[in-house]
Structures are given as C-alpha cells and as structure tokens.
Amino acid sequence: MDHYRSIVITGGKGMLAHALADQLRQRGLPFAAVDVDVADITKPADVARLFADKHPTLLINCAAYTAVDLCEAQREKANSINGDAVALLSECCRQYNTKLVHYSTDFVFDGQSNVPYKPTDPPHPISAYGISKLFGEQKIQEINTPGWLIIRTAWLYGRHGNSFPRTILKLAKSGRPMRVVNDQTGCPTYTVDLAAATFDLIAADAAGIFHVTNSSATTWYDFAAATLKLFATAAELVPVTTEQWLLERPNQARRPAYSVLDNSHCKRVIGRVLRPWQEALADYRATFATGAEYL
C-alpha cells in the first residue's frame, strides 16, 4: 500500500467511503475523499480536473446511485452515474496509470441459483439498478485499465448514512407492525469489514472481479430480528413473501431471491474470509454509545 503516493476516494461522503477513510487513517496513509460538490464524476471536465489536480496512483470509486427502487423510474440517471461515469473514471485511470478499485453488487445476478455465485458466473440483472451496475462493470472491462479491481458486495450497512439496520430501528419507534420480506437470501456486509478486505486485496495486487461479503447467509426478516434484539428494541415483525410485498408496492424493483456471493476467490488471495455477519452486526451495535444515538 505504501507505494500509492496519492489515494483518491470518490463518493467521499458515503457510508463505505467513511469506513475506507478510517482504515487509511489507521494505516497512516494520506488520501483525499471527494464528493459531488468537489467533482461530479458524470462531468468530463470535473473528472479531468480531479486527475490533473490530484494525480492519483490509486482511485477507489464509492460514488454510485444506489436508490434501487428509484432507479426503475430514473434509468437514465442510474446509467449515467453507475455506467457512463465509471467509464470516464476508467479512461482517466488508464491515462494516468492509476489503479482503479470499483464496487459493484449482488444485484447483477437474477437470484435463480441455489448455490453461491462465483465471480465467473454469467450476470443477469433483473432491476434497473442491477443493469446500471453491470453497465459500469462492462465499461471497466472494455477500457481495461491495467490492474483494475471490481469488488462485488451485498446488503451493505455501516455507521454513517442510511442502511437497513438503521431503517428497521427507526420504524420500530413508530410502534406499528413491520412487514419484512422473508424469502430473499443474502449476506449482510459491514462497511468496516469490507474496507479492511479492500485494502488487503490492494496490498496483494489483486486484479479482476472479486466477491466480498461477511460470512453466512440470512433473510431480510432474520436480519431485522437480529438487529432489534441487539439494540434491545421491541417491535412486531411480520414475515411476508416478495410477491406480497410487490402487490403492496408495485413500483418497487425486483430483487434477487438468492444472491449469496462465493468468497472463495477472495480467500485464496488474502488468506481469510470475512467473519460471520452476526459478529459484525454486534460490533456495529457497539459503535453506538447510547440507544438513541443510532436514530
């Protein structure tokens, strides 16, 4: 990692960027975290100026349009941020000989498998968000900046910003029963663990597509129940099927029924798998000094 003299994180105000920044501070490495107010990655002039000013040797792209349901009605915006902008970054990385690290998603798969998805499995997204993220992946591969690294992850949550646990805890305060989908299976991933694995992969000169999530699989319903238990918050959870949920909210995006990612390729490179999601969630809870702080 020490040979990366200039590190830039785009999407610098986001949940994952905060965790990456914390890791870099712990490692004593200088970096710049920039967001849309400094450099709009959809604008060629902004991207060109960012590279001219910073001359990054490592660029970690956390910028993305992640409003999964809104992407259905805003496909052009999703493709612009998650696809075209990624191409702009990739082109500049090639010009400046910058290593590019980019994050993608389990939503590039259709969820019809019953075994964890490998990085080599053919993608088949079923939502506008998934399509836009695959578009970005394809642009990186077409431009083929030397040493590019795509990290697919899933069900991300962290200390900064909105995430599923925070949403559940806020809804619990209303006192109303919460209907939570119980037939979608995936792996919740803590930003702190993903950030650490990211830098382990970079240190190992990893390139290509990697899957990185916390270990074990669960449903959204069980994830919600575990969150409420850890935060000692009482609430009524009602399990529902995906079809029931979509009947109530027909404009929402379809999500893969099974999107567990196979992390074995990552394990071969960094020598470990990420801890179980239950342990990571307990650490997430421990970062809050008081019960009210998470709201």
Look at residue 173 and tell me if it is in a domain: no
Using CA of residue 238, residue 242, residue 243, residue 249, what is the dihedral sign?
A: positive
- Least confident piece of the model among 130-139, 160-169, 281-290: 281-290
Token representation of residue 105: 């998603």
Task: Give pLDDT, residue 223.
Answer: 98
Look at residue 252 and tell me if it is in a domain: no
Q: How confident is the model at residue 1 (pLDDT cuts 50, 70, 90)?
A: confident
Rounded average pLDDT over 149-173: 95
Rounded CA-CA distance 47/24 in Å is: 23
The answer to whether 164 and 188 are in contact (CB under 8 A) is yes
Dihedral class, residue 167 (left if φ above 0, else alpha if ψ from -120 to 50, else beta): alpha
Helices (H), 212-294: 220-230, 242-248, 264-270, 277-286
Catalytic residue among 4, 117, 129, 157: 129
Buried b / exposed e over 89-110, threshold 16 CB at 10 Å, is: bbbbbeebebbbbbbbbbbbbb
207-260 pLDDT per residue, tens: 999 999 999 999 999 999 999 999 999 999 999 999 999 999 999 999 999 999
Look at residue 97 and tell me if it is in a domain: yes
Concerning whether 129 is annotated as a catalytic residue, the answer is yes
CB neighbour list of residue 155: distance below 8 Å, 6 or more residues apart: 106, 164, 186, 187, 188, 189, 213, 223
The answer to whether 19 and 153 are in contact (CB under 8 A) is no
Look at residue 201 and tell me if it is in a domain: yes
Look at residue 255 and tell me if it is in a domain: no
Rounded average pLDDT over 26-42: 95
CB neighbour list of residue 219: distance below 8 Å, 6 or more residues apart: 181, 182, 183, 184, 185
Q: How confident is the model at residue 161 (pLDDT cuts 50, 70, 90)?
A: confident
Q: How confident is the model at residue 290 (pLDDT cuts 50, 70, 90)?
A: low
Q: How confident is the model at residue 295 (pLDDT cuts 50, 70, 90)?
A: low
Look at residue 169 and tell me if it is in a domain: no
pTM here is: 0.97
Look at residue 34 and tell me if it is in a domain: yes
181-221 pLDDT per residue, tens: 999 999 999 999 999 999 999 999 999 999 999 999 999 99
131-142 pLDDT per residue, tens: 999 999 999 999
The mean of the pLDDT values for the chain is 96
Rounded average pLDDT over 140-166: 96
38-94 pLDDT per residue, tens: 999 999 999 999 999 999 999 999 999 999 999 999 999 999 999 999 999 999 999
**Host domain of residue 18:** 7-163+187-217+260-276
Task: Give pLDDT, residue 292.
Answer: 54
Task: Give pLDDT, residue 288.
Answer: 84
CATH number at residue 113: 3.40.50.720
Quote the number of domains for the chain: 1
Look at residue 206 and tell me if it is in a domain: yes
Task: Give pLDDT, residue 2.
Answer: 74
Sheet hosting strand 31-34, strand order edge to edge: 31-34, 7-10, 58-61, 99-105, 149-153, 208-211
Rounded average pLDDT over 143-167: 96
